[in-house]
Structure 1
Amino acid sequence: MQTLPIKYLNRKEIDDQKWDLGISNAINALPYAYCYFLDNMAPEWSALIVGDYEVLMPLTWKKKWGIRYLYQPHFIQQLGIFSDTKISDNHVDVFMAALKNRFRFAEIFLNFDNQLKGAPARRNYILLLKPGYEQIRSCYKNDLLKNLRLTARETFTFKGGDLDDTLQSYQHEYKHRIPHVKSTDYEAFRQVCLSADSKNKLVIRSVTDADGSRLSSAVLINDAGRLILLLSVTSRSGRSRSANHYLIDQLIREFSGQDLVLDFEGSDIPGIAHFYSNFGATDQPYYFYRYNRLPWWIRLIKP
């Protein structure tokens, strides 16, 4: 990598087949970096590339007041540099310097393999599913086991779910907590899910009670060796009856024994982090990177 120049390519210059293959071959591959995910969530993305797509960095950008800047799209937790070999700290620095030559401002999240000195770490809990269900369950925390014993008294059904119903429930439940996520973002995410579904990569599961009422649902993507919990929603009744605990436990039971990483996609929120860690999940941090080279008159507005 040290002897190869970093090339900048606009979206139309990128070979989709080579790009997706490069992501698949990366030791730190993530589904967010595939063309179908980026094209829906950040249509004007471009990239930094080394060699014949051996090292890749998707760049999600927008333009305001004639100035291009990097941002993190909704529903894409982390991007950064992807490579088929280990990325050194020096290589990360080289890529970050290349960003500054083209973009005046950045607020982005680098993936778990892009540790950058001084970049704040964000929590992301993961669970290896290969060991099998019984071994995984043996690492469950006591309060989780207590909640699961309570669900055993219920007449819950774990089954497939509906994408549109789950998205509508999620929007209704969380619209006041995340008002910055607009209807256009949800529609773009829906298109990501439909694309994933066409590739047999989409997983939707729900928990219903004896009356058929949906208590908890989750949308996941099974790609690049990861089963990523893209979003989940639990009703008030479901929370009081631990339906969300039951949902995750049943997902683990379904996919255990496979060479997959269950990626909980968070969280820095203490209560959510505690919930995920109860399943024996461990933190695999990713990194926030920010710089500001905007003109002084804009910095008065955006420090």
Structure 2
Amino acid sequence: MPPRLLRYSELDLAAWDACVAEAREVVPYACSWWLQATTGRWEASVEVEAGTGRYLSVLPLPTKWRLRGREVYQPAFTQQLGLLTLPESQFSDVLLHLRQLPKRYAHFYTQLNDQTPLPSALLPLTGQTRTTYHLPLHPEYAALHAGYTADYRRRLRQNNELPLPLTVSPASSVDEMLVLFKQYTGEVAGLKNRHYQQLRALFAALQHHNQALPLEVRAPETGELLAAALFVRFRTRLIYLFAAASPAGKKVAAPLLLLDYVIQRHAGTPSLVLDFEGGMIKSIARFFANFGATPVPYAALSFTQRPWYLQWIR
């Protein structure tokens, strides 16, 4: 059965999440509860199996109204979406789903996942090639540690030699982390109050599904929060979703300790990949690369209402 455009009220969320959980593409951002926390409601192009009602492929389309009309957009805390498919899908080409969309969006922007090949017919609509950084975690920690830059290995060694070394511990909530981020980074990052509310809702959902790993580093003498991060474990992905650090925390390499902790804890896990979820800013890309991570591209599609692009696709 060809894909159909479904409104949020028409979606079978149980079938949706079953498809996301089994899809060839590992994309936690496409889980219904993730989208509910970050966008509330969404439309989607869905391939439904006749007779069973199973969803064989889904293309999430978060939408909102603007003065110029209805838009598809990329929600906050949602690095990638794109097409997710089961092996039985007959429509595993994202172009076949886009062909089903009516001329209903004044503007369209979506970031595909890094596991979806981009059809050549869509290249004129690619807003840009974006980059994230991946580090496969199947090697043992000693091998991964050897892949760090010499400076990172030195700073970790120096911390371990302190009378009171900094340590990483689980965090009970994200509230202090958000305060820290808002104080030192929030204005530059452009986050509004609604974004912090979305992240709190997402954290609650991640906790409910046992996928949240919130961590922190505190000053041993004072208990001051120096750095914190929220990691997400979903199938074969470990995602560095959100982080904050004070100037004092950066000075003592607290963010480095957080990442080294999760790498050490998950080292030797077959098929697991740490997605640093970023790399478009050079200084941040360099920080990730210093752990031995490598760049991975993914595409962003963007177009504004004009003669529907399928008129020139042959």
CA contact (8 A) 2:229 2:243 kept: yes
CA contact (8 A) 2:131 2:278 kept: yes
| Count of aligned residue pairs for this structure pair | 291
**Cα distance in 1 between the residues matched to 2:184 and 2:99:** 41
**What does the per-residue CA deviation read over 1:258-303, in whole Å, with 9 as the maximum and x for residues that have no partner?**
24221110111111111111111122211111011169xxxxxxxx
Q: How far is the alpha carbon of 1:248 from its aligned partner?
A: 0.7
Give the partner amino acid of 1:136: L
Structure 1 outlier segments of 4+, above 4 Å: 86-90
**Cα distance in 1 between the residues matched to 2:197 and 2:97:** 32
| 2:129 aligned to which of 108, 121, 140 | 121
- What is the CA RMSD across the aligned residues, in angstroms? 2.2
Where do 5+ consecutive residues of structure 2 fail to align? 49-53, 308-314
**Cα distance in 1 between the residues matched to 2:227 and 2:104:** 44
Q: Larger deviation: 160-169 or 70-79?
A: 160-169
Q: How far is the alpha carbon of 1:108 from its aligned partner?
A: 1.6
CA contact (8 A) 1:151 1:246 kept: no
1:163 aligns with 2:160: no
Give the structure-1-normalised TM-score: 0.89
Q: How far is the alpha carbon of 1:150 from its aligned partner?
A: 2.9
**Cα distance in 2 between the residues matched to 1:102 and 1:27:** 29
**Cα distance in 1 between the residues matched to 2:4 and 2:113:** 20
Relative to structure 1, is the Cα distance of residues 128 and 88 closer, same or farther in structure 2, using a 3 angstrom cutoff?
A: farther
Aligned to 1:263: 275
Q: How far is the alpha carbon of 1:88 from its aligned partner?
A: 11
Percentage of identical aligned residues: 29
CA contact (8 A) 2:57 2:91 kept: no
CA contact (8 A) 2:3 2:91 kept: no
**What does the per-residue CA deviation read over 1:182-204, in whole Å, with 9 as the maximum and x for residues that have no partner?**
21121022111101101211111
**Cα distance in 2 between the residues matched to 1:86 and 1:216:** 44
**Cα distance in 2 between the residues matched to 1:137 and 1:238:** 21
| 1:25 aligned to which of 22, 34, 48 | 22
Aligned to 1:9: 6
Give the structure-2-normalised TM-score: 0.86
**What does the per-residue CA deviation read over 1:56-80, in whole Å, with 9 as the maximum and x for residues that have no partner?**
1111011123721111111111101
**Cα distance in 1 between the residues matched to 2:216 and 2:61:** 34
1:132 aligns with 2:164: no
Aligned to 2:51: none
1:275 aligns with 2:287: yes
Q: Larger deviation: 271-280 or 84-93?
A: 84-93
Where do 5+ consecutive residues of structure 1 fail to align? 296-303
| 2:72 aligned to which of 70, 73, 91 | 70
1:244 aligns with 2:261: no
**Cα distance in 1 between the residues matched to 2:277 and 2:101:** 26
Aligned to 2:237: 226
Relative to structure 1, is the Cα distance of residues 88 and 173 closer, same or farther in structure 2, using a 3 angstrom cutoff?
A: farther
Q: Larger deviation: 148-157 or 197-206?
A: 148-157
SS in 2 for 1:124: strand
